[in-house]
Amino acid sequence: MYDKYAKRALHFLVYLPPLWVLVLIFVFGSNSLLARAFLLCLSGIDAPLTTVSRTQSTDRFPHLLCDLSQPFDFISGNIRNSLVEYQRPVLVFFSWSGTPRSSISINPAQHFIDNLNIINNISSIIQLSAPSLVLFVSSAGALYPLNTVPAVESAPVYPTSPYGDQKAFAETTLSTTCCIAGSRFVSARITTAYDLTNPGNPQGVVNRWIFDRLLHNRIDLYSDLESRVNFISANQVADSLVKLIGSSAHGIFNIGSLHETSLSSLLNAILSATNDLSFPTLTRNRKSLPLMSLPVDTAKAMNVASILNPSLLLRDVPVLVDKARLHLSSLY
């Protein structure tokens, strides 16, 4: 079932201006968590939409197998034939290699090369198709410094990982390429997302903690429990991206919820929802756990595209726990 945000996005899409029926929408990296939520929002519209990813897709849209982390000569023919059929398409890019943590700990050199290829390939695709809009999904947590003051889009970025360095480089490169091509460019800097729709997905701190609690009664800590994180559901992100596309927005936008949630509050909500009196083992993955705070200012998205995302995590935790339990019971 759609939650109320997915329903609102679906209704919004049905009554969008003719943008949706006049252009082809390409969604790259369509198997990612955020992309799946985005496609769920789009599933109620009658518009030409093609998904692109490195692995086979199970959604109902036409799909191209294409690995953007490979050199462009390898994929140009695959993409070119579809792009040239439509004028001024909308291109939405979720494609990326690795995460802030894996880009440091798991084969960082390969992630770096893969993402350079992705950035170069996106630039080439923009030059080839002269799209009406390019929407790039970026990361707030990888770009802004830890602070107690909400970060605004015009603030300097301070990446703390190769992942963040390349997200910043991608924003600059793609903005310039779009300017030359006469395309509208939007970069959505997403805060920490959790998956409210797919019960089998243990990706991200919220979903991972719930699975670890249910399966092992253990939770891995990478930050101090009093750290405050801006959590947002993937459905809220999808709703926000749809609104950015349907508006005249251009430039960089923070996409997050109105308030941060402490990790201790998240832990307590999970313990309460699981109805288990035993306290989990807390595994410290660092000798000294940092106290983190990354509030973001979302006023620009509100003013330009009427995007307003309340903080729903603590309300959603019992739903996430129930879905995870049902999924696990179907496996064992």
Mind listing the pLDDT tens digit for each residue in 157-210?
Answer: 989 888 889 999 999 999 999 999 999 999 999 999 999 988 778 888 999 999
Query: What does DSSP assign to residue 55?
Result: S
Is the model's pLDDT at 11 over the cut of 80? no
SS3 assignment, position 16: coil
Q: Does domain 4-196+231-258+295-311 have CATH number 3.40.50.720?
A: yes
CA angle, residues 254, 202, 106, in degrees to nearest 5:
80
268: Cβ contacts below 8 Å, ≥ 6 apart? none
CB neighbour class for 119 (10 Å; exposed up to 12, middle 13-18, buried from 19): buried
Query: pLDDT tens across 100-157, in order?
Result: 665 555 677 888 899 999 999 999 999 988 999 999 999 998 899 888 889 999 988 9
The mean pLDDT of the chain is 85
Give me the torsion for CA of 234, 239, 241, 246, rounded to 10°. Answer: 170
- Residues facing 184 on adjacent strands: 133
Token duo for residue 233: 């559901």
Q: Report the first-to-last Cα separation within the chain, whole angstroms.
A: 24
Given this model, what pLDDT does residue 170 score? 95
Domain definitions of the chain by residue range: 4-196+231-258+295-311
Tell me which H or E stretch contains 136.
strand 133-139
Is the model's pLDDT at 4 over the cut of 50? no
What's the pLDDT band for 1 if we cut at 50, 70, 90?
very low
Is the model's pLDDT at 38 over the cut of 50? yes
Give me the torsion for CA of 168, 186, 203, 264, rounded to 10°. Answer: 80
Query: pLDDT tens across 234-271, in order?
Result: 999 999 999 999 888 999 999 999 999 999 999 999 99
Q: What is the CA radius of gyration of the chain?
A: 20
Whether 273 contacts 72, CB under 8 Å: no
* Residue 287 or residue 314, greater confidence: 314
Residue type present at position 67: D
* Average pLDDT, integer, range 76-105: 74
